[in-house]
Structure 1
Amino acid sequence: MWPIYSIALLIAMLILRCATSYYAVIMGPTLLYLAHLVHQEVQDITFTYVALGGGSMLGALVASYVNRNLKQKLNGLFLQAALTLILSGTVVAVPWINQIWQLALIFLVIGINIGYVMVDGQCLVLRTWDPKNARVLMYLLYVMGSLGRFLAPAVAGPFLAMSHENKAETKCSHVNKVASTNVNGTVGTDTGKQFDPAGWSYIIFGIVLFVVGILHIVLGCMKADEKTYEVLSLPDDVVEDKQMEEPLCDVIWILIPLFLYCYCSTGSSLLYQDMIYAVAKCSFLHFSTSEAAWVTAVYSIGLAIGRFSGILFARHVKPIYVVFTIVSGALITMIVMISVAKTWIVITWIVSFFYGFFVGPLVPAAVNWISEVINVSGTYSFIFVLGGAAGTMSLVPSAGALFHLSPFYPVYLMCGVSAFNVICFCLIGIAAKMRKPKKSESEHKLISKEISQDTSDTIQDHPQQEPNGHVHGE
C-alpha cells in the first residue's frame, strides 16, 4: 500500500501533465480565434510554435540537468510549482493580448513547463519503480496527456460556438488576408472592447494550473518526492543504477535515429491536433465550427484509447512489437485519408480516431523500448522532448505555410512524416541490434571473482590426476 504522500504526488503529476498537454494543443481549436485576436494570418500564428518548441527544449535540458546533478540538493517540486504558477498567470492573460510577440512569449512559457514536466516525470518513474511497473506508469502519464488533448477541443468548442455569432474568425477570414487593424497595430474598431467567449477556454485551465501549483508547493514542503523515492524504490538497487550510463560515443548511433523518431512522432501528433480543425473547416470538407472542434475531440479520444491500450499490453508484449504496429498503422491511416477523404467525407471522422489511436503510444512505447537498450533516466533523458520540440518548431510552421497555399495540404505533410517515422524505427532497430553493450568495471570484477571462486571450488572438489593415474599431491 502506497503512503498518502506518494499517492498525492502521483495525482499532482498526472493533473499537471493533463493541464500542460491541454495548453500544448489549445492552439489547434482556437487557431482562427488567435489569428483574429492578434490580427495575423494563420501561417503567421503557427510560427509561434517556434517559441513553444524552443521553450520545450530549454525545459527538457533543465530537467535533465536537475535530475542528473541536483536531485539531492534542489527541491524539484518547488521548481515545478514556480513554473506552473507562472504558466497560470500567462495563459489567463491570453484573451487580452493584441500583439503576436505576446502570444509567442506565452507559448515560450508553456513550452518550458511542458519540457520540464515531461522529462522530470519520466526520470522519476524510471528511477523509482521497477521496470514492469514503470512501463505502466509511463503510459499512464501519456494517457493523462491524451486527456488534456481531449479537453482542449471539448472545452473550447462551446465557447467557439458562442463567438461564432459575432466574430469573423470562424469563417476562415484569415486564410488569405489579414484582419483589419489600426495604423498603429492596436485593436481596430471592428473588434471593439467586448470580451470574446472563446477566451474562457484559456482562463478555466489557468485557474486549474494555479491550484496545481499550490499543491506542488505543499508537496515540496513535505518532500514527497524524496520520501516516495525512498519508500517505493527497489530494495537493492535503484532502476537507474542497474544500467550504467554509457559514453555518448557508444550510443550516438541509437540517439540520432531516436531523435528523428521523436521528431516525427511528436510532430505528426501535434500537426493533426493543431491543424485538423482549420483543415476540416476551410478545405473542401466544409465542416461547421462545432463539427471541426469535435473532429479534434475524436482524435484525442483515439489518442487516449491508444495510450490506454499501451498500459494493457505493457506487461505482456515487447515494446519493439508495439512500436512496429503503431508506426505502420499511423502511415496506413494517413494514406487512407489522402485517398478517400475527398470523395467520402465521413472518412475524416474514422481516420481522426484511428490516427490518434496509433500515434498516441508512439513516444511512451519508444521510452520503454529504448530503456531496455540504454539508460535514458539521466543525461540522455532529454532526447525525447528535444526531438519533439524540434518537430514542433519546424513541422507546425511548415503546415501553416502549406495551409496558406491550400487548406488540405497539411495532410500530405502528415503522411510524409509518418512514412519517414517508419524509416526511423528501422534505423533504431538496426543500431540497437548492432550495438554491443559493454560491461561496467564493477561487473567485470564481479565476474572475475566468480570465475576465480568457481575454479578454486572445482580444484578442491576434483583433484587433478597425473597421467599415470595417481592423484596430484598424493
Structure 2
Amino acid sequence: MWPIYTIVLLIAMLVLRCATTYYRVILGPTLLYLAHLVHQEVQDITFTYPALGGGTMLGSLVASYVNRNLKQKLNGLYLQAALTLILSGTVVVVPWINQIWQLALIFLVIGINIGYVIVDSQCLVLRTWDPKTARVLMYLLYVMGSLGRFLAPVVAGPLLAMSHENKAETKCSHVNKVASTNVNGTVGTDTGQFDPAGWSYIIFGIVLFVVGILHIVLGCMKADEKSYEVLSSPDDVVEDKQSEEPLRYVIGILIPLFFYCFCSTGSSLLYQDMIYVVAKCSFLEFSTSEAAWVTAVYSIGLAIGRFSGILFARHVKPIYVVFTLVSGALITMVIMISVARTWPTITWIVSFFYGLFSGPLVPAAINWISEVINVSGTYAFIFALGGAAGTMSLVPSAGALFHLSPFYPIYLMCGVSAFNVICVCLILIAAKMRKLKNSEPEHELISKETPQDTHNTIQDHPHQEPNGHVNNGE
C-alpha cells in the first residue's frame, strides 16, 4: 500500500497534467472570443502560436536540466508550484486583456508550464515507481491529458452559447474584420457586460491555484523524495546500455522522423484548435454548442485511440500500427473534403475517427523507431522538436488560410496527413538501407578475417611438411 503522501502526489500530478492540457486546448473553442477581446482577426491570433511552441520547448529544456543536474539540490515540487501559480494568475486575467502582446505572453506561460509538466512528470514517474507500475502510470498521464482535451470544449460549450459573440449580429463578425473598440472602455465585448465565455478560463485558473498550493505542501513534506525511498529499490534501476550511433549514420532516419513528428503533433493540435471555428464559420454552419461538441468528439476519439494503442503494442508490430494510423488519418481527411459540403453531418464522424487515428501516432512511432535506433538518449529531443515546430508553423498557416476561406484549414490538414504517409515511407526506406549497410561490413569482415586468422595460426605453430614431418623452423 502506498503512503498517503505518495497518493496525494500522484493525484496532484494527474490533475495538473489535465489542467495544463485543458488550457492548451481551450484556445481552440475560444478562438473567436480571444479575437474579440484583443480586437484582432482570427489569423492574427494564430500568429501568436509560436510563443506557445517556444514556451513548450523552453519548459521541456528546463525540466530536463533540473531533473538531470539539480534534483539533489533543488526541490522540484517548489518549482512546479511556482510555475503553476504563475499560470493560474495569468489565465485568470484573460477576460480583461485587450492587447495581442498580452495574449502572446499568456501563450508563452502556458507553453512553459506544459513543457515542464510533461517532462517533469515523466521523470518523476520513472524515478519513483518500479518499471512495471511506471508504465501504467505513464499511460495514465496521457489519459489525463486526453481528459483535459475533452473537458475544454465541454466546459466552454455552454459558456460560449451564452457569450456575446454567439449573438446573431456578432456571430463570426470579427473573422474578416477587426472588432470595434468598446465605447465605454469595457474590455472584450461591445455590450459593456462581462462575457460569460471568460468563465472557461477563470474556473480552471482557480483549480490551478489549488493545485499550486498543494504542490507547496507536498514540497514541504518532501513527498517526492520520501516516495522514492519507500517505493524504489536498487533492483528497480535499469540502465540503458544500448550504444548510440554517430549522427552521420542515423541522419537519414532522423530527418524524416522530425517531419513525421512535425505532421503528427502539429496536425493533431491544428484540428483541435481550428475545427470549432471551421464548423461554425464555414458552409457547415454549426451552432456554437454543436461546434464545441465536435471538438469534444475529437477528444473522445483521441482518448480511445491512446487506450487502443496499448493493445496494438502487445499484438501488432509497430510498423503496421504506424502505417495504419497515418493511412487512416489521410482517408478521414479526404472524406471530409469530398463529402462535408453535401453532408455536413459527416463532420461528427470524421472528428471521431481523425482523433482515433491521431492519438497513438507519436507513441507508436517511438515504439517503432526504438527498434531501429536508440532514441532514449541524445536523439530523444527529435520528438519534442518536431512537435513544437509543427505547432509553431501549422496553426499560423491555418489562420491565414481561414482568412481566405473558413474551410481551407481542412485542406491543409489533408495535405499534412498525405505528407506524413510519405515520411513513414522515407523512414522505412532509410531503416532498410541502414540495415543493409550494417550487414554488408560484417560479411566482408568475416571473409577478410578468416584467411588472416588461418595464416596467423599457421605462422604461430610448427609447420607440417607435405611428407608429414614437422618443420620447427630450425
TM-score by length of 2: 0.84
> Which is worse superposed, 171-180 or 4-13?
4-13
In 1, are the aligned partners of 2:25 and 2:273 still within 8 Å (CA)?
yes
> Which is worse superposed, 155-164 or 124-133?
124-133
Tell me if 1:81 matches 2:77.
no
- Separation (CA, whole Å) in 2 of partners of 1:408 and 1:240: 50
Q: Any idea what SS the aligned residue of 2:235 has?
A: coil
In 1, are the aligned partners of 2:258 and 2:383 still within 8 Å (CA)?
yes
1:381-429 superposed Cα distances (whole Å, 9 cap, x missing partner): 4432222111111000100000010111000100111112222233334
Shift of 1:232: 4.5
Sort the Cα spacing of 1:130 and 1:199 in 2 relative to 1 into closer, same or farther, 3 A. Answer: same
Sort the Cα spacing of 1:398 and 1:240 in 2 relative to 1 into closer, same or farther, 3 A. Answer: farther
Matched residue, 1:440? none
Q: 1:85-234, aligned counterparts within 5 Å?
A: 85-126=85-126, 134-164=134-164, 171-181=171-181, 191-233=190-232
Aligned-residue sequence identity (percent) comes to: 89
Q: 1:336-347, aligned counterparts within 5 Å?
A: 336-347=335-346
Matched residue, 2:455? none
> Which is worse superposed, 267-276 or 235-244?
235-244
In 1, are the aligned partners of 2:33 and 2:165 still within 8 Å (CA)?
no
In 2, are the aligned partners of 1:53 and 1:393 still within 8 Å (CA)?
yes
Shift of 1:290: 0.9
Shift of 1:82: 1.2
Tell me if 1:395 matches 2:394.
yes
Q: What is the one-letter code of the residue matched to 1:59?
A: G
Shift of 1:359: 0.4
Q: Any idea what SS the aligned residue of 2:200 has?
A: helix
Q: Any idea what SS the aligned residue of 2:162 has?
A: helix
Whose RCO is larger (CA < 8 A, sep 6+)? 1
Q: What is the one-letter code of the residue matched to 2:409?
A: P
> Which is worse superposed, 161-170 or 357-366?
161-170
- Separation (CA, whole Å) in 2 of partners of 1:292 and 1:166: 12
1:430-469 superposed Cα distances (whole Å, 9 cap, x missing partner): 4445557xxxxxxxxxxxxxxxxxxxxxxxxxxxxxxx9x
> Which is worse superposed, 282-291 or 163-172?
163-172
Matched residue, 1:322? 321
Sort the Cα spacing of 1:240 and 1:123 in 2 relative to 1 into closer, same or farther, 3 A. Answer: farther
> Cα RMSD (Å) of the superposition?
3.1
Aligned residues: 440
TM-score by length of 1: 0.84
- Separation (CA, whole Å) in 2 of partners of 1:189 and 1:231: 51
Matched residue, 2:24? 24
Instruction: Give unmatched runs, 5+ long, in structure 2.
Output: 436-467, 469-474
Q: What is the one-letter code of the residue matched to 2:54?
A: G
In 1, are the aligned partners of 2:180 and 2:190 still within 8 Å (CA)?
no
Shift of 1:78: 1.9
Q: What is the one-letter code of the residue matched to 1:263?
A: F
Shift of 1:345: 1.3
Sort the Cα spacing of 1:403 and 1:211 in 2 relative to 1 into closer, same or farther, 3 A. Answer: same
In 2, are the aligned partners of 1:303 and 1:353 still within 8 Å (CA)?
yes
1:129-169 superposed Cα distances (whole Å, 9 cap, x missing partner): 66665544333222111111111110001111111487579
Q: What is the one-letter code of the residue matched to 1:55?
A: G
Q: What is the one-letter code of the residue matched to 2:210?
A: V
Sort the Cα spacing of 1:12 and 1:373 in 2 relative to 1 into closer, same or farther, 3 A. Answer: farther
Matched residue, 1:356? 355
Sort the Cα spacing of 1:169 and 1:118 in 2 relative to 1 into closer, same or farther, 3 A. Answer: farther
Q: What is the one-letter code of the residue matched to 1:351?
A: V
Q: What is the one-letter code of the residue matched to 2:327?
A: S
Shift of 1:244: 5.3
- Separation (CA, whole Å) in 2 of partners of 1:376 and 1:64: 15
Sort the Cα spacing of 1:127 and 1:307 in 2 relative to 1 into closer, same or farther, 3 A. Answer: same
In 2, are the aligned partners of 1:136 and 1:311 still within 8 Å (CA)?
no
Tell me if 1:63 matches 2:93.
no
- Separation (CA, whole Å) in 1 of partners of 2:434 and 2:229: 34
Matched residue, 2:256? 257
Matched residue, 1:386? 385
Sort the Cα spacing of 1:2 and 1:323 in 2 relative to 1 into closer, same or farther, 3 A. Answer: farther
Q: What is the one-letter code of the residue matched to 2:204?
A: F
Sort the Cα spacing of 1:355 and 1:370 in 2 relative to 1 into closer, same or farther, 3 A. Answer: same
Sort the Cα spacing of 1:408 and 1:239 in 2 relative to 1 into closer, same or farther, 3 A. Answer: farther
> Which is worse superposed, 262-271 or 138-147?
138-147
Shift of 1:271: 1.0
